[in-house]
Structure 1
């Protein structure tokens, strides 16, 4: 994580974004760039979260539509729909979200465990960040993008 020290208090910076009315945060150091989603070239069948491909700095990458992954109804992109280009430990990919809301710096005391998240199925949740009245669900984006879920035919696939 991208940690900075200010007045002897280390803080971590998170890029905040919205999905389905909730606000999330991911380590800003994982962000390569931000783009507005103008069109989503689909190559997967309905119900798949891989929503298309994009080219960024000469790299062809998958676009994961997190709106579909979170169970919100598929809809056409609007001017607020953003793509976060991520540089993960295993690849570069784009993540479609409802919108990016900014960068938030959080000290360790501003992050608390997620209630009921003891399950290994959600080990990608870092905690809940709070600054003022704002609450962010903090995710480890490398872990989230490597989560495997069973397919209906019994095989395993990446979510």
Structure 2
């Protein structure tokens, strides 16, 4: 009987280990926590001087020079129709690759990298009233004491006008 119990226990551990996990960079915008697939994130940097580009969409903050490469920076607050926050020492730019373009996204802060079991992710409830376009959301991840809004960053960046963002 102990052998059978051991096999069951071992099988359970193996099953748990093989559960598919999402690895996410967790960041804050306003009062909300968001998760972004770590495979799209190149780096996270402090906010340097940003050069404004005339006649660009309102959510495009400008461009930065990152080690000799010019990168478009967008303000996710503005993109999502949220109240724009004055950036402070906690504010960061998440540099991500989106459809072979490198784009920076200003966020209020970055808190952690975590692994979220795919089984804890649910579709975004249709009843939720939000200013954020539902197409930008992959789902909602449930953690013990909090919820993470999972972004589809490709749609956030490229949906309206890829040429306006990628080649400002």
**TM-score with structure 1 setting the length:** 0.80
Root mean square deviation, CA, Å: 2.6
Q: Distance in 2 between matches of 1:139 and 1:24?
A: 7
Q: Which residue of 2 aligns with 1:68?
A: 78
Where does structure 1 lack aligned partners over 5 or more consecutive residues? 150-156
Larger strand proportion of the pair:
1
Q: Deviations over 1:106-152 (max 9, x none)?
A: 112110111018xxx62331110011112100011112211217xxx
Contact kept, 8 Å, 1:127 with 1:138, in 2: the verdict is: yes
Q: Which residue of 1 aligns with 2:136?
A: 124
Q: Deviations over 1:83-113 (max 9, x none)?
A: 0001112300100011111112111211011
Q: Distance in 1 between matches of 2:57 and 2:135?
A: 24
Larger helix proportion of the pair:
2
Q: Which residue of 1 aligns with 2:152?
A: 140
Q: Which residue of 1 aligns with 2:88?
A: 78
Q: Distance in 2 between matches of 1:10 and 1:59?
A: 35
Contact kept, 8 Å, 1:39 with 1:77, in 2: the verdict is: no
- 1:11-50 alignment, distance < 5 Å: 11-44=21-54, 48-50=58-60
Figure out how many residues of one structure are paired with residues of the other and give that number: 146
Q: Distance in 2 between matches of 1:144 and 1:70?
A: 9
Q: Distance in 2 between matches of 1:137 and 1:114?
A: 9
Q: In terms of Rg, which structure is larger?
A: 2
